[in-house]
């Protein structure tokens, strides 16, 4: 009897393991439509070059002649779509650069579950691996925990999309590809005031989220300066983001004809749904967190029709580079890339251009590379998917033109 | 009789276990420090040392509530957050008064413990009248409430001292505190504590674990501890022999909260950024998992469970996307294994055989 149950346990364990083994060996069987599964294909298909050198022997850097780029972002959990897009985009850029035959890169993306503590662990793991520059973190909260470490260890950190000013402030070697939150809020107010015909504005934002609160603050300040009328402000938190009937009907009864949503796309999708169900149809205006709503599983994209968002990247842009990036991304992952993918892609090219300008070689240490990049980063100008002729100020923030897009027939269109 | 039985063999079994626990912790500390000194420890592990210490203390303190007092608490992370934020405020505002970081850290941890103990009293008075499921639900609610309250908190420090505001309307920002030139923003509401000077150290974590162990083990073996356990085993019987229910329940609950607060302060001062949303229901459950896996009322079990289960997901980074899946499966297997009569019997037999051999 006792032996039987022991044997049963061992069997159960063996079966679990074999299940895992079959998962791992067959990346092709995962459904390509689900975004959370797509990255497993990408990393496995495109990373064989990185696998052998990874792990036990960070000293192999010089011998193999490749630059080791660490990547940190949420690859699982609620914010996974951002991390996966950014890392997939970065991987495409790495493969493109490697195909040129000059400088060689290897990217090691690590999961941080959008949590500061896990992010620090991921950072330390990458340090053990021998990372020479960091592309990350993708989200703001973790960047504030990892940033000070990168600053201390003198490892150059370029975040694709962590948009808080705190991310870069006080750290000379932390740079951003994206706009800062105040910049987003400021630019949104500017754009709405100058390009749109609206009289009353409602804001619904998440007041336990650094990103959302940061954008709201600067938007409200700039709207006040410009004399725009904000008739309603509704807040929610992580625990209350499943129902917005109160905020939506309050915005409606306040007569707002534009609802500003400086929030992520999951709650935004619920707001769109509930506004639709009570027949309230203002213009919805989002920021970069809204990006991703079109690829959300189980969301009727018709509801997003006419939604505007401030995004530096539109997948329907005409230029050849965007076109080839989008088609490559679709080929690999079966979905249209969002702005985060473009940010990740640009981040790799920015580091590439900086390394070229500074004449870096793969046998340099992370600290030497850091100092070399800092010597040139404020003078170079990089053309990327999210902006042309991007330049950087010494405080780590980027200069590029913001663009607004509107959703029409399920794609972003430049208005 | 006493004279003859002196020495290791004459000690009570529980005393032996206690000494072994202390010795184990000290040995682990010495070993890790030696490895660190020799440069043998990876940065990944080095970075995990402080959080591991924090979670060990969290598990130990929750074990006091769940294992010894026998009340299920689902809001333990709430006390951790009170300790973390009060500790950060103390450490950041005392920067000039106490330039020596270890002392400042100790003060911050003490402040964190005091504030968490206060929260423990406030929560404990009404809550400990409830039992079982009701108590679990109220502690769960406490965890949520404290998280939402901390999200509204704005704290800054300048030459005039501390400035605080409570951002209930959601429209205040850190600028509304009116900080003077040279003032620092310590807690920025939803953005959490940002720009914290990280002064937490592994040595402090070790000291905290030793203090927590000493407090809990001494409490458990004292007269009060026996009263607490009597309440756990049968409250009516305990009351009938004149044990003051409220007093002993509060004693265990507040001690547990204070230790969690100190662990929170250490945790908070280990990261440059800390969000109140970190201390959600999941964190409470995580600590509860450590306690249950380590064994209710079993302190060294909590220490080992917390350490192993914290390091495990990091080791599993190799398997990438299947990481969390493997972690879950391992959890289930360990749960099954520790509750399996066959495996327990197997270990018991080995143990007995070794013991028998030693006697012969």
CA distances A278 to A205, A246, B17, Å, are 20, 12, 65
Q: Is B272 on the interface with A (CB under 8 A)?
A: yes
Same-domain check for residues A325 and A268: no
The residue that leads in pLDDT, A14 or B161, is: B161
Same-domain check for residues A175 and A187: no
What is the pTM for the complete model shown?
0.82
Residue B278 pairs in a beta bridge with none
Domain range for residue A244?
182-289
Decide if A374 contacts A368 (C-beta within 8 A): no
Within a domain: A277: yes
Within a domain: A309: no
Other beta carbons within 10 angstroms of residue A40's beta carbon come to: 18
Stretch B36-58: mean pLDDT? 92
Give the per-residue pLDDT at B351.
67
Chain B residues whose beta carbon lies within 8 Å of the beta carbon of residue A166: 191, 194-195, 273
Within a domain: A393: yes
Stretch B122-144: mean pLDDT? 86
Q: Give me the number of domains chain A comprises.
A: 2
Burial letters for A89-125: b for 16+ Cβ neighbours within 10 Å, e otherwise?
A: bbbbbbbbbbeeeebebbbbbbbbbbbbbbbbbbbbb
Same-domain check for residues A175 and A189: no
Q: Is B323 on the interface with A (CB under 8 A)?
A: yes
Same-domain check for residues A96 and A169: yes
- Per-residue pLDDT reduced to its tens digit, B317-359: 877 777 778 888 888 888 887 777 777 777 777 766 655 544 4
Chain A residues whose beta carbon lies within 8 Å of the beta carbon of residue B282: none
Give the per-residue pLDDT at A350.
94
Within a domain: A35: no
Q: Which parts of chain B fold into alpha helices (H)?
A: 13-37, 43-63, 76-93, 101-127, 132-151, 202-221, 223-233, 235-240, 245-268, 281-294, 299-315, 323-338, 341-359
- Per-residue pLDDT reduced to its tens digit, A307-361: 888 888 877 777 889 999 999 999 999 988 888 999 999 999 999 999 999 999 9
Give the per-residue pLDDT at A6.
52
Nearest by CB to B272, which of A24, A148, A209? A148
Class of domain B42-359: mainly alpha
Across the interface, do B278 and A115 touch by the CB < 8 Å criterion? yes
Same-domain check for residues A165 and A102: yes
Within a domain: A313: no
Least-confidence region, from A394-403, B113-122, B253-262: A394-403
Assign A30 a pLDDT band (cuts: 50, 70, 90): very low
Other beta carbons within 10 angstroms of residue B331's beta carbon come to: 14
The domain that contains A340 carries what CATH number?
A: 3.40.50.2300
Burial letters for A171-197: b for 16+ Cβ neighbours within 10 Å, e otherwise?
A: bebbbbbbbbbbbbbbbbbbbbbeeee
User: pLDDT at residue B63 above 80?
Assistant: yes
The residue that leads in pLDDT, B157 or B4, is: B157
Stretch B238-255: mean pLDDT? 93
Chain B residues whose beta carbon lies within 8 Å of the beta carbon of residue A130: none
Give the per-residue pLDDT at A355.
93
Give the per-residue pLDDT at A5.
57
Give the per-residue pLDDT at A406.
86
Chain B residues whose beta carbon lies within 8 Å of the beta carbon of residue A141: 192, 273, 275
Which of A15, A45, A144 would you mutate first to test chain B, the one with the most B CBs within 10 A?
Answer: A144
Within a domain: A8: no
> Which value does ipTM take for this structure?
0.86
User: pLDDT at residue B65 above 80?
Assistant: yes
Stretch A111-137: mean pLDDT? 92
Same-domain check for residues A284 and A336: no
- Provide, rounded to the nearest whole percent, the portion of chain A with pLDDT above 70: 85
Least-confidence region, from A88-92, A408-412, B212-216, B297-301: A408-412
Cis omega before residue A137 (within 30°)?
Answer: yes
Across the interface, do B326 and A20 touch by the CB < 8 Å criterion? yes
For chain B, domain boundaries:
42-359
Distance from CA of A97 to the nearest CA of B (A): 24
Q: Is A200 on the interface with B (CB under 8 A)?
A: no
Assign A12 a pLDDT band (cuts: 50, 70, 90): low
- Per-residue pLDDT reduced to its tens digit, A39-83: 333 333 333 333 333 333 333 344 458 999 999 999 988 788 889
Give the per-residue pLDDT at B119.
94
Least-confidence region, from A49-53, A285-289, A355-359, A402-406: A49-53
User: pLDDT at residue A199 above 60?
Assistant: yes
Give the per-residue pLDDT at B171.
67
Nearest by CB to B273, which of A16, A141, A205? A141
Closest-approach residue (CA) in chain B for A40: B321
Stretch A176-182: mean pLDDT? 87
Give the per-residue pLDDT at B355.
53
Q: Return residues 7-46 of A near B (CB < 8 Å).
A: 9, 12-13, 16, 20, 23-24, 39-40, 43
Chain mean pLDDT for chain B: 88
Distance from CA of A320 to the nearest CA of B (A): 33
Same-domain check for residues A99 and A157: yes
Same-domain check for residues A65 and A175: yes
Same-domain check for residues A198 and A244: yes
Across the interface, do B280 and A166 touch by the CB < 8 Å criterion? no
Which of B273, B276, B344, B348 would you mutate first to test chain A, the one with the most A CBs within 10 A?
Answer: B273
Give the per-residue pLDDT at A35.
37
Within a domain: A121: yes
Q: Is A209 on the interface with B (CB under 8 A)?
A: yes
Same-domain check for residues A87 and A152: yes
Indicate if the alpha-carbon torsion angle B254, B54, B210, B203 is positive or negative: negative
| Final residue before a domain boundary, out of A235, A269, A289 | A289
Q: Return residues 102-161 of B near A (CB < 8 Å).
A: 144, 148, 151-152
Across the interface, do B342 and A5 touch by the CB < 8 Å criterion? yes
Same-domain check for residues A158 and A224: no
Across the interface, do B148 and A237 touch by the CB < 8 Å criterion? yes
Distance from CA of B259 to the nearest CA of A (A): 21
Same-domain check for residues A89 and A175: yes
Q: Is B173 on the interface with A (CB under 8 A)?
A: yes
Within a domain: A68: yes
Distance from CA of B7 to the nearest CA of A (A): 39
SS3 B248: helix
User: pLDDT at residue A373 above 70?
Assistant: yes
């Amino acid at each position: 009897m006792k032996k039987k149950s022991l044997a049963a346990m061992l069997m159960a364990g063996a079966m679990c393991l074999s299940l895992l083994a079959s998962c791992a060996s067959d990346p092709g069987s995962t459904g390509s439509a689900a975004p959370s599964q797509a990255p497993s294909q990408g990393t496995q298909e495109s990373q064989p070059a990185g696998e052998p050198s990874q792990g036990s022997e960070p000293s192999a850097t010089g011998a193999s002649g490749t630059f080791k780029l660490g990547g940190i972002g949420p690859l699982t959990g609620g914010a996974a779509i951002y991390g996966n897009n950014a890392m997939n985009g970065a991987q495409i850029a790495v493969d493109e650069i490697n195909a040129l035959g000059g400088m060689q890169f290897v990217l090691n993306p690590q999961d941080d579950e959008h949590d500061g503590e896990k992010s620090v662990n991921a950072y330390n793991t990458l340090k053990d691996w021998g990372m020479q520059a960091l592309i990350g973190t993708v989200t703001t909260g973790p960047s504030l925990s990892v940033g000070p470490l990168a600053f201390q260890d003198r490892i150059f950190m370029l975040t694709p999309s962590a948009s808080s000013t705190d991310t870069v402030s006080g750290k000379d070697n932390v740079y951003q590809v994206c706009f800062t939150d105040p910049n987003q809020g400021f630019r949104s107010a500017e754009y709405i005031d100058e390009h749109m015909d609206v009289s009353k504005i409602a804001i619904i934002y998440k007041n336990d989220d650094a990103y959302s609160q940061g954008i709201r603050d600067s938007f409200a300040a700039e709207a006040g300066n410009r004399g725009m009328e904000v008739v309603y402000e509704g807040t929610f938190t992580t625990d209350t983001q499943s129902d917005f009937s109160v905020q939506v009907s309050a915005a409606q009864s306040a007569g707002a004809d534009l609802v500003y949503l400086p929030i992520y796309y999951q709650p935004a999708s619920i707001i769109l749904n509930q506004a639709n169900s009570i027949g309230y149809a203002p213009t919805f205006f989002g920021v970069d967190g809204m990006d991703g709503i079109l690829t959300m599983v189980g969301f009727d994209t018709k509801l997003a029709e006419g939604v505007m968002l401030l995004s530096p990247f539109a997948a329907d842009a005409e230029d050849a580079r965007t076109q080839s990036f989008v088609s490559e991304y679709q080929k690999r992952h079966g979905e249209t890339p969002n702005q985060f993918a473009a940010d990740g892609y640009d981040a790799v090219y920015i580091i590439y251009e900086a390394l070229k300008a500074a004449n870096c070689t793969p046998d340099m240490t992370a600290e030497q590379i850091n100092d070399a990049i800092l010597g040139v980063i404020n003078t170079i100008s990089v053309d990327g998917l999210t902006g042309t002729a991007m330049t950087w100020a010494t405080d780590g923030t980027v200069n590029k033109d913001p663009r607004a897009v509107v959703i029409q027939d399920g794609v972003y269109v430049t208005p | 009789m006493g004279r003859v039985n002196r020495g290791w063999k004459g000690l009570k079994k529980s005393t032996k276990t206690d000494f072994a626990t202390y010795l184990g912790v000290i040995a682990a500390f010495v070993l890790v420090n030696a490895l660190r000194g020799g440069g043998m420890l990876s940065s990944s592990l080095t970075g995990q040392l402080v959080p591991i210490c924090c979670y060990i203390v969290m598990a130990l303190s929750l074990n006091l509530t769940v294992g010894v007092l026998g009340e299920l608490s689902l809001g333990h992370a709430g006390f951790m957050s009170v300790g973390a934020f009060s500790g950060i405020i103390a450490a950041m505002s005392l920067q000039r008064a106490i330039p020596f970081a270890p002392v400042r850290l100790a003060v911050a941890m003490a402040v964190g413990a005091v504030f968490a103990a206060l929260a423990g009293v406030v929560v404990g008075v009404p809550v400990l009248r409830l039992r079982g499921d009701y108590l679990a639900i109220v502690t769960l609610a406490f965890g949520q409430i404290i998280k939402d309250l901390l999200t509204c908190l704005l704290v800054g420090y300048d030459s005039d001292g501390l400035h605080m505001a409570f951002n209930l309307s959601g429209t205040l920002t850190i600028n509304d505190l009116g900080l003077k030139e040279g003032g620092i923003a310590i807690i920025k509401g939803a953005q959490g504590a940002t720009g914290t000077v990280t002064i937490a150290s592994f040595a402090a974590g070790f000291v905290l674990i030793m203090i927590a162990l000493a407090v809990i083990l001494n409490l458990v073996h004292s007269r009060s501890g026996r009263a607490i356990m009597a309440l756990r085993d049968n409250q009516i019987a305990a009351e009938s022999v004149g044990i003051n229910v409220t007093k002993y329940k509060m004693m265990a609950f507040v001690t547990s909260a204070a230790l969690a607060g100190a662990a929170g302060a250490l945790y908070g001062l280990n990261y440059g950024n800390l969000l109140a949303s970190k201390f959600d229901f999941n964190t409470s459950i995580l600590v509860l998992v450590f306690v249950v896996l380590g064994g209710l009322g079993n302190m060294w079990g909590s220490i080992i469970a917390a350490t192993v289960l914290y390091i495990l997901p990091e080791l599993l980074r190799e398997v990438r996307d299947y990481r969390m899946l493997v972690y879950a499966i391992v959890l289930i297997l360990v749960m099954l294994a520790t509750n399996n009569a066959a495996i327990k019997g197997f270990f018991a037999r080995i143990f007995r055989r070794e013991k028998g051999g030693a006697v012969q």
